[in-house]
Structure 1
Amino acid sequence: MGKKDITLNAFLGDAHIFADLINGCCFQGNTLIRPEELLPLDSAQYTRTNQGKPGKKYRDLKKLWFQEEPIAILAVENQERRDFRMPVRCMRYDADEYERQIKAFEAEAKSAQSAFEPETAIRLLPVFTLVLYYGRDEWTIPRKVYDMVDFHRKARRLRGQVPDYPLRIISVKKDMDIELFHTELKEVMGILQRMDDKASMKAFFEADRAAFSQLTEQAFEVIVNCTNSRKLRKYITENREGGCVDMCRAFDEWIEDCRKEALIEGKKAGRREGEKKGIKEGEARLARLIQLLENEGRIADIFEAAKNAAVRNRLYKKYGL
């Protein structure tokens, strides 16, 4: 697991942030799930390897939603890179969780020395997995198992009969409405949405400086790591006083630095484009001169013009090039 995933997991693992994420992404920002109703669960899940041997996989985040009694298992998978296997991965994660619940029922019945009757004993908790994609490229690869299954020719008759498994995916840049969040998740995700547009990032920051001045250290870490900004980390360190960080000053310095870098890069790109244009024009000018000299049979002058700039410029002037 990379540094970005580690810091993002630590941030989203907070019950307030986790509840805000699910409520904002799935319930239009309505407070259906409350932080105090979320209980942490071990992210390790026992499964079977491709060789059929017992194995273990780790979810990014997994919590139990509890209101006087267990209601559901809620999980979040963070993705920075697109993964065409994701629908099957999540289907397997959820199936393993259901299998874990079944085994727990079996073990409970065994310990109570009672007969295990699946039709009455098993009442599985629903398992919900949300994929949070924060990569730069658009997620255009499969969003459900059906996108991966080849229903061609005779197999098309099975379409609709084979169970599908849709992927519950939220793209931070494309799908997420940060106005539905009520915690610092709004500020963090707002910055991630604008990583490629420094002007928009600055405007977003300026519009809510008060909120940015109160961000927690975990929120800082997510922004620093996900933006790959060593300079922002440097500015945060320099603006730390008495154990607190003046995030506004650090952001001001960082965004101003980003603006200057963008201007410099823009000027460099303009010079490179001008140089390319000049080279093309020079090549076209020389090609025209060679053609004119060749038409007049002046082969010796062609070689002389190619190696001697003074001769070349004199001939350009003579032929009006």
Structure 2
Amino acid sequence: MSPRNTAKADIVLKNFWKDNAHFADLFNAVLFDGEQKLHPEDLREADVDLSSVLKFNGHIETIQWLRDVVKKTAYGMDFVIWGIENQQKIHYAMPLRHMIEDALSYLKEYNEIAKKNLDEKTTNTKDEFLSRFKKTDRLHPVITLFIYYGEKEWDGATSLKEMLELPDYLENLVPDYKMNLLQLRNSENLKFKNKDVQTIFDVSRLIYGKNYGKITSIYKDQNLTNELGIVIGAITGSQELINYAASEKEGGQFNMCTALDELIESGKEKLLTEMVEKKLAKNKTPDTIADELETDISIINNIIEKIEKSA
């Protein structure tokens, strides 16, 4: 294995989804049942900074907020903002966060329109001047997809109303805000067209299920790019897989099955080392340890030597 890499999962995932082909395929599979509504060539980078200044009755509040990945599709004068938020852990206030992020996106566009109207003095009535927003002005849709990569089932709210203590008689009076949530663990029926996107979801899901046999049967004769290995390692929290993928220089590819075999063996050795360390702490001899763990004395001595060197 190579020296430990310090790749941050959120940066690895942001980088993967910045690719237009990956981004478009994700939205098409999740929101449009595989129908090709978004096309990579139509996507443009959009500003991820939603920071803003809020003014209320003479009070000023600044808000700093950055989105993970944002793209824009433009068709003539009309456009749509598409956003991805990556989530490794369950966030029990996620619907509220979703609503705030989308609202800040709308506020950002409103402020831009208001400034343009003020600079160009295009408001025609007192009402338009007050809001700095003309009767004919329109904001553009913001569509956000939250991807939850965690191994366990999402057990948090998926809409604002689920977060509220809401009596039945108020049910129809309180507006809701639903989030677009994708759980990696439940992604097996999505109709991906992009091979890279399909691979990271499939392999990550199989790793979570410890279904290494199926990975072997599917990817036995296939090599994956180093990038995909690093992304899968980031998703599943496997620093070892990240290190393995990053260490494979030749052709920028590696064999997933070989990597898993080595990782499994590495995991077994790590577990055995931990057991030996506990027994050494109880002042047990190498012969006794080998006896109790039913392991060859040469292997135990090897492990003890490594422990002493790293001390």
Is the 8 Å Cα contact of residues 105 and 121 (structure 1) preserved in structure 2?
A: no
2:165 is aligned with 1:150: yes
Superposition deviation, residue 71 in structure 1: 2.3
Gap change, CA 1:132 and 1:176, over 3 Å in 2:
farther
Aligned to 2:196: 184
Distance 2:242 2:218 in 1: 22
Counterpart for residue 96 of structure 1 = 104
Aligned to 2:17: 12
Q: How many angstroms apart in 2 are the aligned matches of 1:209 and 1:157?
A: 59
Distance, in Å, in 2 between the alignment partners of 1:239 and 1:265 is 22
Q: Which residue of 1 aligns with 2:298?
A: none
User: Kindly tell me: are residues 139 and 233 of structure 1, through their superposed partners in 2, closer, same or farther at Cα, counting changes over 3 Å?
Assistant: closer
Matched, 1:213 2:223: yes
Report if the CA contact (8 A) 1:20-1:183 is conserved.
no
Q: 45, 54, 61: which is aligned to 1:53?
A: 61
Q: How many residues align?
A: 257
**Alpha-carbon offset, residue 225 of structure 1:** 2.3
Change (3 A) 1:205 1:64: farther
Whole-Å Cα distance in 1 between the matches of residues 268 and 107 of structure 2? 56
Structure 2 CA distance, aligned partners of 1:26 and 1:196? 24
Aligned partner of residue 152 in structure 2, secondary structure: coil
What TM-score does the superposition give when structure 2 sets the normalisation length?
Answer: 0.73
Where does 1:172-321 land on structure 2 (aligned, <5 Å)? 172-175=184-187, 177-198=189-210, 200-204=211-215, 206-208=217-219, 213=223, 215=225, 217-241=226-250, 244-248=251-255, 251-260=256-265
8 Å contact from structure 1 (residues 38, 65) kept in 2? yes
CA change 1:246–1:14 in 2 (3 A) is: closer
Higher relative contact order (CA 8 A, sep 6+): 2
CA gap 1:222/1:236 in 2 versus in 1, 3 angstroms: closer
Residue in structure 2 matched with residue 123 of structure 1 by the alignment: 138
Counterpart pick for 1:62 among 55, 59, 70: 70
Alignment deviations for residues 11-31 of structure 1 (CA, whole Å, 9 cap, x no partner): 011111000100011111111
Between 176-185 and 165-174, report the one with greater CA deviation: 176-185
Q: In the alignment, is residue 37 of structure 1 matched against residue 37 of structure 2?
A: no
Question: What is the CA RMSD across the aligned residues, in angstroms?
Answer: 2.9
Q: Which has the larger radius of gyration?
A: 1
Contact 1:4 1:225 in 2 (8 A): yes
CA distance in 2, matches of 1:260, 1:214: 20
Question: Equivalent residue of 1:247, what SS?
Answer: strand
Q: Percent identity?
A: 22
| Paired residues of 1:17 and 1:183 also in contact (CA < 8 A) | no
Residues 22-33 of structure 1 correspond to what in structure 2 (within 5 A)? 22-33=27-38
Unpaired runs of 5+ in structure 2?
1-6, 273-311
TM-score, normalized by length of structure 1? 0.71
Instruction: Check conservation: 1:202, 1:255, Cα contact below 8 A.
Output: no
Alpha-carbon spacing, 1:12–1:157, altered in 2? closer, same or farther (3 Å): same
2:172 alignment counterpart: 160
Q: Does 1:110 align with 2:122?
A: no
